[in-house]
Amino acid sequence: MAYWSKLAERFAANDNVIGYDILNEPWPANIYHDPELFLKPETFDKEKLYPFSQRANSVVREKDASTIVFFEPAQFPDSLPFFGGMVYNMGFPDSPGGASDIQ
């Protein structure tokens, strides 16, 4: 989290920064350590990614309250390219920044 704190502090006043992408295309986990996070849709998002995103958002907001913060779900298994494509609901119960951060 120290990285995001420093980054947000450095770029908070920069008009050329439109947002912070907390984690680009997150991978759901070590499939050998905990295969359920990889195999069950929404599980990784709910148990690992959402709490991480909440913490990162809080750290960024301490330094920069106005710049957009982007969040992405895990790319797999939330979307599967089989049988014409299946997309599951993202496992986030709310925006990591709360309702006030939804734009």
pLDDT tens-digit series, residues 76-103: 666 666 666 666 667 777 878 877 666 5
pTM: 0.80
CB count in 10 Å sphere of residue 25: 10
CB count in 10 Å sphere of residue 87: 10
Report the SS3 class of residue 34. Answer: coil
Question: Is residue 8 pLDDT above 90, yes or no?
Answer: yes
The 10s digit of each residue's pLDDT in 21-58 is 999 888 887 778 888 777 777 788 888 889 999 999 99
Q: Could you tell me the CA-to-CA distances from 9 to 1, 6, 14, 18 in Å, in that order?
A: 12, 5, 10, 14
pLDDT at 6: 97
pLDDT at 85: 62
As a whole number of angstroms, the distance between CA 11 and CA 32 comes to 38
pLDDT at 92: 79
Q: Which residues, in sequence order, are bridge partners of residue 20?
A: 69
